[in-house]
Each structure stands twice: as C-alpha cells, then as structure tokens.
Amino acid sequence: MSRGKLYLLGDAAHIVPPMSAKGINLALNDAEVFARAAIQQIQQGDSRLLDSYSDTCLSRIWNYQAFAAWITEIMHNVGDTSYAGEFR
C-alpha cells in the first residue's frame, strides 16, 4: 500500500467484493491511519507511523477480505455444498 513516498488509500489500494459492503469502511480507516501518520511526521518529524502504514492497514484489510469471501460463499450457494458453478 506504500512504496517510498507513494501511499495508496481506499479503492486505489484494495478492492473488497461488493457483497460485503465494506469498501467505504476500509477507505475511511486508511484515511484515518494515513492522516494520523502524516500529522505525526509533519509536527514531530517522526515517520514511524508512516513506515508502518501498510502493515497497520493490511491486517484489517485481510480480515475484511476473509469476511467478504465467507459471506459471498454463504449467500451464493444457499447452503448447497454440492454446487460448483462458474462463481467458484
């Protein structure tokens, strides 16, 4: 989500399937984490939060991705585990 001085936030950094409706939550979290990190860098010259931006955000993103995969599986097969259509 970051490389050098380039930081990606929201849909530029990750895409969550619409089934989970979590995209805006992740985007807002990215923005908050980045804003706090940028403020710390500007006000205190401390880059630790910017340096850990990707790791901080990615743990939440992976949890949301796992939930999205789970809820999509539940919603699309309606409990029929024998279904193995193109979606899978």
∠ CA 23-27-32, rounded to 5°: 150
Domain ranges of the chain: 21-77
pLDDT value, residue 83: 62
How distant is the alpha carbon of residue 9 from its chain centre? 9
pLDDT in tens, 44-63: 999 999 999 999 999 898 88
Q: What is the pTM assigned to this prediction?
A: 0.76
| Token couple for 69 | 């995969």
